[in-house]
Amino acid sequence: MNRIGAVIVTWNSQDDIAACITAAQKAGVTETIVVDNGSKDGTREVVAGMSGVKLLYFPENLGFAGGVNRGVAALSTEYALILNPDCIVQDGLEQMADAARGGAAGGILLGSDGELQSGFAVRRLPTAWTLIFEVLGLNRIFPANPVNRRYRCAGFDPKCEQEVEQPPAAFLMVSRKIFEDLKGMDERFWPIWFEDVDFCLRLRKAGYKIMYCPSAKAKHRGGGSIEKIFWPFKELAWYGSLLRYATQHFGWLSRRLVCLAVAAASVPRALTGIIYRHQGVRALGVYVDIFCLAWVSLVLDRVDHRRFGRHVEGAKHF
């Protein structure tokens, strides 16, 4: 059996995908699956011109979780390397696979400056206070606060192999059997955000380990597809996924505190959108929808994705 296969979910990624595939294959990937979520640029044409790659095309956007699930299902390898298209693997995949034997493993993510993407490459699983501080902007205003330092693993030693809680799915190795046993990523986190956090939490709850492997390295530009998402939809998707995570994993009081924080934060963020983004009525509409998402989650313990509809249409598949 081939050992390491890569799954790369793309959406308008023509500027990044060729380098990503080439680097992964050079680093030891023997099988590559590209799942394209309805790209409107030349992504599919670029992939079609490359050897050793299987392209799965879906005209409607399945979201990141849906793309990963279908990509992993198409693999025949022992391990699945989940890669963002703006991620360039450098080395260490065999060691990363060894580290993922008990579940999953992450590695070193380097920014365009060659430095560790601290605060992103490894994080702790979010608590209710983590999300409250995030949505209220406290982590941005006071980044040295203890809640934020704990969440972003301040003082983390990137040279030491160790068990961790939440490496990002930008560069994540997972046992394919364990991934399938856990039924993959939750596609209700649509289209993006918190699906990898949810997966890491479920994996740990099932008794598996997630390791950090410093031998595995990749350069990660970050934001390759996210920066192309229509702004109103991006806001609604992030808050919607955050609320879904809180609703599914926090206790009665904690999830309600998160909902109240999101509702409270929607007011100043609407004003910011109107004043600084010059979005006017559009900003007001987006944050009214976010307020309603929070209220429905507070009262009914569910996230109402129907409110995404008009923003999806305006975004043309994002």
At 253-276, the pLDDT tens digits run 999 999 999 999 998 888 877 776
Q: Is the peptide bond before 126 cis (omega within 30 degrees of 0)?
A: no
> What are 141's two structure tokens?
């205003």
CA–CA dist 256, 249 (Å, integer): 12
What's the full length of the chain, in residues?
318
CA distances from 72 to 84, 104, 230, 313 (A): 14, 14, 28, 29
State the average pLDDT over residues 153-177: 96
pLDDT band at 2 (very low <50, low <70, confident <90, very high): confident
Spatial CA neighbour of 32 closest among 44, 20, 21, 16:
21
Give residue 272's pLDDT: 76
User: Exposure of 275 by Cβ count < 10 A (0-12 exposed, 13-18 middle, 19+ buried)?
Assistant: exposed
Q: Spell out the domain ranges in the chain.
A: 4-121+158-220, 229-315
Other residues' Cβ atoms within 10 Å of the Cβ of residue 115? 8
pLDDT band at 282 (very low <50, low <70, confident <90, very high): confident
Spatial CA neighbour of 170 closest among 76, 54, 89, 56:
89
> What are 261's two structure tokens?
């924080």
Secondary structure of the chain as H, E, C letters: CCCEEEEEEECCCCCCHHHHHHHHHHHCCCEEEEEEECCCCCHHHHHHCCCCEEEEEECCCCHHHHHHHHHHHCCCCCEEEEECCCEEEEECHHHHHHHHHHEEEEEEEECCCCCECCCCCCECCCCHHHHHHHHCCHHHHCCCCHHHHHHCCCCCCCCCCEECCECCCCEEEEEHHHHHHCCCCCCCCCCCCCHHHHHHHHHHHCCCEEEEEEEEEEEECCCCCHHHCCHHHHHHHHHHHHHHHHHHHCCHHHHHHHHHHHHHHHHHHHHHHHHCCCCCHHHHHHHHHHHHHHHHHHHHCCCCHHHHHHHHHHHCCC
> What are 218's two structure tokens?
């990749």
Give residue 318's pLDDT: 42
Q: Which CATH class is domain 4-121+158-220?
A: alpha beta
CA–CA dist 75, 210 (Å, integer): 21
- Does residue 118 or residue 106 have the better pLDDT? 106
CA distances from 82 to 9, 43, 71 (A): 8, 18, 9
β-bridge pairing 4-10 and 79-83: parallel
At 34-84, the pLDDT tens digits run 999 999 999 999 999 999 999 999 998 899 999 999 999 999 999 999 999
> What are 106's two structure tokens?
């992450």
Give residue 316's pLDDT: 43
At 206-253, the pLDDT tens digits run 999 999 999 999 999 876 566 666 777 888 899 999 999 999 999 999
